[in-house]
Amino acid sequence: MRFAVMIEPQQGLTYAEQLEVALLTEKLGFDAFFRSDHYRSFPGPSDRPTTDAWAVLAGIARETSTVRIGTLVSPVTFRHPGSFAKVVATVDEMSGGRVEVGIGAGWNELEHTELGLEFAEIKTRADLMEDELAILHGLFEEPDGWSFEGHQVHVRSAQFHPKPVQRPHPPIIVGGEGSPRSLRLAARYADEYNMSSAAPEQCTEAFARLDAECRKIGRDPATVRRSVMAGLLIATDKAGVERRVRDQMAMFGSSPTESAAWLAERRPRWLVGTPDEARAMAARFAAVGVERIMLQDFLPRDLAMIELAAKELIGRV
């Protein structure tokens, strides 16, 4: 089992704070550092500062040397697919070939309307996502003169240089909750399928359907890696867990009186509790075919929790 750290910087984190977490993940031996790609602050107060994911990753690319970096996930609604391909290739070069790119259809309508970004209905966004996946492959892999007729985007006689450092392309991650179209797109275009905050039983069912979609197009299902983004909330003992739950509730702007119900709802799909409990959950994910867990950290300023996760999980699951 491999482990990555995934943070939600739209909670008000500065670039310096994000870099601190990235450097710590590299030092501790995590597989990768991922961040969300959101422009609106949530959960909790909506007026916290936010940053652009790929501008931040460009900076982190130059300050780190071994840890892989990427987004979970970048909405196709934020950046034109052709421009996005240039951004990804540029940051891949800046990092020496360490970028991974998660792609999704977008879901948070408010962060679009607040910035004047179009937020179409889901079929239109999914069509654009399919265009973007095809265009990334085409621009990264095809020779000069490549053209493409998509649902919404059309490419004419492209010349795309330089190609990404990673060949044939940086790893592409399709994220989702096991919807039929996300699985079809993953089978055709993705190197990795990431289940978002799902229990192991949900992963079993979704991965079986992913296998079926791969076989339909003649792809070996084993060539698509499987991962899950799972919340992280651990401490050395139960008293410490309770303290971190209170900190989490405060970050979310929720009442401490709601903590018991809040925690109970997340236990089936998060790595939460003592180290033994966290390892047991990671083992359950491993048993259903998960190869990498992105530890979704909603307390990124609590560096001690990241250090504890490294100590208790890396090499022990």
56 located within any domain? yes
pTM recorded for the entire structure: 0.96
pLDDT of residue 254: 80
204 located within any domain? yes
156 located within any domain? no
133 located within any domain? no
Q: What is the pLDDT of residues 40-74, one digit of tens each?
A: 999 888 999 999 999 999 999 999 999 999 999 99
149 located within any domain? no
What value does the mean pLDDT of the chain take? 96
148 located within any domain? no
Check residue 43 and report its DSSP letter: S
Percent share of the chain, pLDDT over 90: 91
Q: What is the pLDDT of residues 88-108, one digit of tens each?
A: 999 999 999 999 999 999 999
Q: What is the pLDDT of residues 138-166, one digit of tens each?
A: 999 999 999 999 999 999 999 999 999 99
Domain region containing 24 = 2-101+164-313
User: CA-to-CA distance for 281 and 26, rounded, in angstroms?
Assistant: 24
180 located within any domain? yes
pLDDT value at 315 more than 80: yes
282 located within any domain? yes
pLDDT value at 256 more than 80: no
Question: Count of domains in the chain?
Answer: 1
Q: Which long-range contacts (CB under 8 A, 24 or more apart) does 138-141 make?
A: 139/82, 139/85, 140/85, 140/89, 140/164, 140/168, 140/169, 140/170, 141/168, 141/169
pLDDT of residue 252: 83
Q: What CATH number is given to the structural domain containing 63?
A: 3.20.20.30
- Cis ω for the linkage preceding 49 (within 30 of 0): no
Q: What's the mean pLDDT in 14-39?
A: 98
